Amino acid sequence: MSEKDLQFLIDAAKKHKITEEERDAQIRSFTYGNTHLENPSITRADVDKAVDSLKGSELPWEAVNSARSR
């Protein structure tokens, strides 16, 4: 990959606005990856159930972000 190609990709990534669907997928992937390392019996279905149960609640990272913006 040339430096020009790489720079094009970097510039495109900087302009990308993450969608709710992408954010949700990232949350689930991160959560599964970290919890599964600690407890191999955790499944993606367990993570989906836990994340879905928190919908509508202020999530920990949202609380941090809102406190920072004050």
Q: Does 22 fall in a domain?
A: yes
Model confidence over 28-60: pLDDT tens digits?
A: 999 999 999 999 999 999 999 998 888 877 666
> What is the torsional sign of CA 38, 36, 54, 21?
positive
Q: Angle between the 20-38 and 44-54 helix axes, to the nearest 10 degrees?
A: 130
> What is the torsional sign of CA 11, 63, 36, 46?
negative
DSSP category for residue 16: P
Share of the chain above pLDDT 70, in %: 81
Query: What's the rounded mean pLDDT across residues 11-22?
Result: 92
Containing structural domain, residue 61: 18-68
pLDDT in the model for residue 54 = 83
pLDDT in the model for residue 65 = 61
The overall average pLDDT reported for the chain is 86
Q: Does 45 fall in a domain?
A: yes
Amino acid at 49: K
pLDDT in the model for residue 55 = 80
Our count of domains for the chain comes to 1
Specify the pTM: 0.63
